[in-house]
Chains A and B, each alone.
Chain A
Amino acid sequence: MRDDPVVIALVRRAAAGDQAAWNEIVDRYAQLVWSICVRFGLSSEDIDDVSQSVWLLLVESIGNLREPAALPGWLAKTTKNECLRVLRVAHRHAHAGLPSEDQMPVDPDAVVIDDEILRAERDAALRAAFAELPPRCRELLSMLMRDPPCRYEDISATLDIPVGTIGPVRGRCLDRIRRSPHIGPFAGGTG
């Protein structure tokens, strides 16, 4: 994993008691915890159980994380363990007396946790970069991100800019995202 300075700063601030930093951590990584629960096929009740445990464990451990930058990996591993715990309990209730470990309803190795981590980090970086754009850029890109995207005529009318400038403005806004410090840790590698 790359050493994302943004994550390291958030972990340090939360460990010192900063609720705003904690909220930002949850906003960034709720997607990661959620998607792993969904991959394990948990019921919504079990998802609540798992997420409560995961966040409480993080609250407990946040001051002692050896590598703050490895937070996404820590969250993914903890979520996976909690999902397995919940499934084991459910399995024990359904088949009392059967060995639990090798009779799991989901093969843990089939759950591609690394992909979820990569996806969650990438998405969080993109959203963070977007959030720091000037308001006009955010408005324009939001309209273009809709499904289906807004027509240029509508964008022109709403934002009061000529249709001909939408393309170039769009390009400049996206360039700002490419240059964002949030994107840096992801785009820096040579391969």
Chain B
Amino acid sequence: MRNSGGDEERLTELSPGWDDEELLAALRQAFAARRAVPPEFVQAGKNAFAWHDIDAELAQLTYDSTRLTEEAVATRAQEEAAIRVLTFTSAQAGLQIELEVQEDALAGQILPMQAAAIEIQTRTGTQQPISADEVGCFWISPIPSGDFRLRCRPVTGNAEVVTAWVRL
């Protein structure tokens, strides 16, 4: 595979002062660069929009216990460090979703505690509905093998939330 342009190539700003030959050469290069990108690469990017969810607030990953510094992990008790915890937060919706990674399942908790309908969404398009009980607890088993995200609809009718994608 070759670089799209090459390091020696001069990068010139578009300029109204370009003569016809320079402009034609720039056009030629612009289309050559576009042709170098495989069509399926472009199509995959377009398909990603299927995940656009304008009805839900995004909950970003705000805490991941495996992203502690090495010193912090070293000073922790072995069994404590072995449990991975993720927290997703949506400031707009005022909602947090915690996931604790257990051996073959995920223990979930919605904060503040409340009942909710939850959908486990995977990139392959499967959508599995589960529900959180009145204190916000839910259970996912088995652990999804690839990328997934959770879409959470509180029964109170408050703002819906979708987590960032995560892969465990």
Q: Which residues of A contact B (CB under 8 A)?
A: 14-17, 19, 22-23, 26-27, 30-31, 33-35, 38-39, 47-48, 51-53, 55-56, 58-64, 112, 115-116, 118-120, 122-127, 130, 141, 144-145, 147, 170-171, 174, 177-178, 183, 186-187, 189
Contacts and interface: CB of A to CB of B under 8 A. Distances in A.
Enumerate the 4 nearest inter-chain pairs by beta-carbon distance, A residue then B residue, closest first.
A123-B30, A55-B48, A186-B14, A26-B45
Interface of B: 1-5, 7, 11, 13-16, 18, 20, 23-24, 26-31, 33-34, 36-37, 41-42, 44-46, 48-49, 51-52, 54, 58, 123, 164-165
B49 A186 contact: no
Contacts of B26: 122, 126
A149 B29 CA distance: 13
Contacts of A53: 165
Contacts of A123: 29-30, 33-34
B164 A115 contact: no
A39 B3 contact: yes
B165 A127 contact: no
Contacts of A52: 44, 48, 123
Contacts of B42: 26-27, 30
A120 B58 CA distance: 29
A38 B34 contact: no
B14 A122 contact: yes
Contact of B31 (A15, A27, A122, A145): A145
B30 A55 contact: no
Nearest to B2: A38
B46 A22 contact: yes
A31 B49 contact: no
Contact of A119 (B5, B16, B31, B164): B5
Nearest to A26: B45
Nearest to A186: B14
A174 B18 CA distance: 10
B30 A126 contact: yes
A85 to B, nearest CB: 11
Contacts of B27: 126, 130, 141, 145, 177
A161 to B, nearest CB: 17
10 contacts: A22-B46, A30-B41, A34-B36, A39-B4, A48-B41, A52-B44, A119-B5, A145-B27, A170-B20, A174-B20
B48 to A, nearest CB: 4
B54 A56 contact: no
Given A38-B3, A39-B3, A170-B20, A122 B51 contact: no
A47 B41 CA distance: 9
A38 B16 contact: no
A52 B11 CA distance: 29
B121 to A, nearest CB: 11
A47 B36 CA distance: 14
B34 A55 contact: no
Contacts of B44: 48, 51-52, 55
Contacts of B11: 115, 118-119
A178 B16 contact: yes
A124 B52 CA distance: 24
A47 B24 CA distance: 31
Nearest to A182: B14
Contacts of A174: 20, 23-24
Contacts of A39: 3-4
